Amino acid sequence: MKVRTPLSQGWTLRLNTDRDTPEGTPPRLAGTTVPAQVPGCVHTDLMAAGLLADPYLDRNESKAAWVGRADWTYASELPRREGAFERADLVFEGLDTVAAVRVAGRLLGRTRNMHRSYRFDVTDLLADGPAPLEVAFTSAYTEAEALREALGQRPNSYSEPFNYLRKMACSFGWDWGPTLVTAGVWREARVEQWSTARLAEVRPQVTVAGDGSGTVEVTVDLDRTTTGQDRPLRLVAGVGDTSSEVTVAPGAMTATVSVHTPDVALWWPRGYGEQPLYACTVVLEDAGGHALDAWERRVGFRTIELDTSQDEHGSAFTLVVNGTPVFARGVNWIPDDVFPTRVTADRYRARLTQAAEAGVDLVRVWGGGIYEDRAFYDICDELGLMVWQDFLFACAAYPEEQPLRSEIEAEARENVVRLMPHPSLVLWNGNNENLWGFADWEWEQALGGESWGEGYYLGLLPRIVAQTDPTRPYWAGSPWSGSWDHTPNDPDHGTAHSWEVWNRRDYSDYLTTVPRFVAEFGWQAPPACATLERALSERPLTAQSPGMLHHQKAEDGNGKLNRGLARHFAPPADFDTWHYLTQLNQARAVAAGVEHWRSHWPRCAGTVLWQLNDCWPVTSWAAIDGDARLKPLYFEMRRLYADRLLTVQERDGALVLAGCNQSAAAWGATVTVRRMGADGTVRAGAEVPFEAAGRSVALAALPRSVTEFGDVRGEFLVADADGLRAVHFGCPDREFAYPAASYEVRVREDGEGGAAVTVTASGLVRDLLLQADRLAPDARADRGRVTLLPGESCTWRVTGWARPTAHAAEAALFCVNGAPVRE
């Protein structure tokens, strides 16, 4: 059997001084060798050695810019080859990015792609004993800028040259991320020793027949030694308790074996059914039955289709799983750390579990990041989170000339094969915003006929998917209308991105269109106060303090935040109020969009929030900040993505109730609707019944007696049913005649390192929020904002709060109608 020896110990790192070192390089680094972690990267190794300040803190990012401009060498030692094996290979699952690999001084090869693996034959080099190994990294800037010079300038939404090499684009910075250009052995390095033959590639295609049976057709490519060329082999595949085998003829380099399983249990997205997974094993044996190599993954049986049929509204974009159309409740995923080797399986599980607990059923892996680790997709399989996987192109024109084209083809083929076993993977997407950029961002004029990536998105990539993974749909880009007959971001066709609202307009403009599928939309807010206080040392913090502005990467980001506030609120008097209102505005903006779009199912078939997570402490569109603290948006997403959502919407100039029911069971309810005054009195009321079938939306008209406001600045609507509440105000907060907030706070310790905080309102309290991190940095609350009517109470369960007091709780509570009048 093949033997794998990980190369994870004994690595060192040194600065290369063969060329001038970049400005800012510490002189003491010349000739200095430091311990290195593999997998890892230069930045984290320098931090561990005390040679680099944490670039996530204050404005240290700028002081670390030299690291990405320098050249570095990782060094270790390869083990002696065991004589029982015919062949020894040095394998790198990932090298970031431009590297020369040498063993015993001999150049084995050069790399220029972070997103693929590399294998080198080192059989002869290990025969005489351990051999020195060096991986010399050239700065990614050096390679990218040289290619830009050779191939010509291409349009790019950012100034950095990430589109000229195959590297995680966002390591060059983004409108939410720092510029920290990494280098290193970022995935596993190992030596593999084997004889006769090995499994070079395994491609399982999983299908489900109409009779409920399932088939896994496994195609393998083989690599043989010289003595193994003329030997017959046997390939044995197993799925669950069923297995099948074939004989591989001498000299054959590929083989296919099918395993047929009757009455398979179907894999479903969360909320639609269970997620049964079957062990799939492939064993390569010699003629005597001795195992030479083995491969194992888990697979799931399900069908996935993409409905793009024409209708009276345009053309659909609806995911259909096992014959059931799905409204996708999605989030966009960015790398969870700019240094991706720090993202462990436990961290993936924590973040994806948070997504699932918020009602998410689809995660889009965005094209400016990476093809994530296997653990990410394994966890999505288990949690029932559908994965929309972008190919790694984002916000730029990409040359189609060599050497990029061959690298992109190799990368795409390898990663399609690597990810195809996962039932959670439901869509391959060609790129992020590049087709849109060509059509609508004046790229076509700037390019002057030069290549820009169309050949990848409409030619190479769909061909690779069709050849390798034909059981899954491919879509050319996001946004993309399906053809050049319509502009790529046409909301009536295919996928759409909604960014005019955040950039230029109020979030009420979400209500003016019904896209077929909203693949990106969002609103910014700062991270939790405890996150800011950890990351920034300046005091007092203000929205315009230097550190805050450094950790705001969006163009005019704070200006957009403040203009968004001004449409709804009076100018905030202090930083704490600004912080609360910007976080509230983020939650409200997303709610306006999702409630509207979800109420238009099945015309609109999904929303994918930008974004779930952050990669460092920053003001951004994320629901979970860079220190893993939950912003108010997270709790709002949990309400918006619940199976049942009650909302007040406008149809044809009148207010209606929308009961959005994503569960399989019918939802029937009688809704209590009240028009209330700001003083808490009921001005009018009605009982409104509705019945929503499973996976449907029910609209119910509201009587005019309830919806006709006597004074829009002093009245509002409240609708309650089955523990759900919808609140509708007819004017901006700055115009509404709010009473001064009046409530009582009680705190009760629970004996488990936490407490229950109960607030009882004496009058209307709008959007009351407990910011738990103000109680203690590690404190967490179990819910977000709530609007209370006179006499109503709400309890927050808080964990991680060692010394609970009512006084501290009062200081951490915020609401729209100001500081409370103390009882």
| Nearest in space to 760 (alpha carbons), one of 789, 730, 718 | 789
Neighbours of 106 (CB within 10 A): 11
**Residue tagged 């069709």 (tokens):** 466
**How many other C-beta atoms are found inside a 10 Å radius of the C-beta of residue 651?**
12
Query: Judging by beta carbons within 10 Å of its beta carbon (0-12, 13-18, 19+), is residue 177 exposed, middle or buried?
Result: buried
Q: Say if residues 114 and 96 touch (Cβ distance below 8 Å).
A: yes
> What percentage of the chain has pLDDT greater than the value 90?
96
130-171: per-residue pLDDT in tens?
Answer: 899 999 999 999 999 999 999 999 999 999 999 999 999 999
Residue 89 near residue 192 (C-beta atoms within 8 A): yes
At 455 the three-state DSSP class reads: helix
What average pLDDT does the chain have?
96
Residue 752 pLDDT exceeds 90: no
Quick one: angle between helices 461-468 and 404-419, nearest 10?
30
How much is the average pLDDT of 250-266?
97
Q: Is the dihedral of CA 576, 580, 585, 587 positive or negative?
A: positive
- How would residue 28 be classed by pLDDT, with cut points 50, 70 and 90? confident
DSSP E strands: which ranges in 113-232?
118-121, 131-138, 172-174, 177-179, 184-185, 189-194, 197-208, 214-224
Cβ proximity of 69 and 180 under 8 Å: no
Q: What whole-number distance in Å separates Cα of residue 3 and Cα of residue 487?
A: 53
- % of the chain at pLDDT higher than 70: 99
Tens of pLDDT, residues 307-321: 999 999 999 999 999
pLDDT band for position 820 (cuts 50, 70, 90): low
Residue with tokens 């550190």: 547
* Mean pLDDT, rounded, for 523-547: 97
Residue 790's pLDDT band, with cuts at 50, 70 and 90, is very high
Residues 441, 443, 446, 450: what is their CA dihedral angle, to the nearest 10 degrees? 180
> What would the pLDDT profile of 483-512 be if each residue is shown by its tens digit?
999 999 999 999 999 999 999 999 999 999
What confidence score (pLDDT) does residue 82 get?
Answer: 85
Mean pLDDT of 663-689: 96
| In the predicted structure, residue 388 carries a pLDDT above the cut 70 | yes
Active site residue 400: no
Q: What is the mean pLDDT of residues 776-802?
A: 96
Map tokens 């069971």 to a residue.
Answer: 665
Burial class (CB within 10 angstroms; exposed 0-12, middle 13-18, buried 19+) of 263: exposed
Span 282-295, average pLDDT: 97
Between 57 and 127, the more confident residue is 57
Averaged over 400-416, what is the pLDDT?
Answer: 98
Query: Mean pLDDT throughout 521-538?
Result: 98
Cα–chain center distance at 486: 28
How many CB atoms lie under 10 A from the CB of residue 214? 24
Q: How far apart are CA 67 and CA 791, in angstroms?
A: 59
Residue 801: C-alpha distances to residues 302, 535, 759, 809, 823 (Å) = 45, 21, 17, 11, 25
Nearest of 637, 643, 21 to residue 272 by alpha carbon? 643
Phi, psi of 747 (to 5 degrees): -125, 130
Which residues make beta-bridge pairs with 307? 318
How far apart, in whole angstroms, are the C-alpha atoms of residue 132 and residue 90?
12
Q: What is the mean pLDDT of residues 797-803?
A: 94
- Per-residue pLDDT, averaged over 719-744, amounts to 96
- Is residue 733 a contact partner of residue 816, using CB atoms and an 8 Å limit? yes
Band (pLDDT 50/70/90 cuts) for residue 31 is confident
Backbone φ and ψ for 488, nearest 5 degrees, come out as -55, -30
**Residue 239 reports pLDDT greater than 60:** yes
pLDDT of 697 over the 60 cut: yes
DSSP letters spanning 687-718: EEEEEE-TTEEEEEEPPHHHHS-S-TTTEEEE
Q: Please tell me the predicted confidence (pLDDT) of residue 819.
A: 65
Res. 72 pLDDT band, cuts 50 70 90: very high
Assess whether pLDDT exceeds 80 at residue 432: yes
Closest by Cα among 769, 344, 393 to 584: 769
pLDDT band at 207 (very low <50, low <70, confident <90, very high): very high
**Which two tokens mark 372?**
């994530």
Position 109 scores a pLDDT of 98
Pairing label, strands 95-96, 813-814: unpaired
- Given a cut of 60, whether residue 1 has pLDDT beyond it is yes
Choice among 285, 372, 411, 433 that is catalytic? 433
Local structure of 406: helix, strand or coil: helix
Question: Averaged over 742-768, what is the pLDDT?
Answer: 93
pLDDT of residue 822: 45
Backbone angles phi, psi at 361, to 5 degrees: -125, 0
Paired strand residues for 520: 497
What domains are there in the chain, each with its CATH number? 3-191 (2.60.120.260), 196-299 (2.60.40.10), 313-642 (3.20.20.80), 645-735 (2.60.40.10), 743-814 (2.60.40)
Give the pLDDT confidence score for residue 18 in this predicted structure: 82
- Smallest Cα–Cα separation from 57: which of 528, 537, 530, 575? 537
| CB atoms closer than 10 angstroms to residue 406 | 10
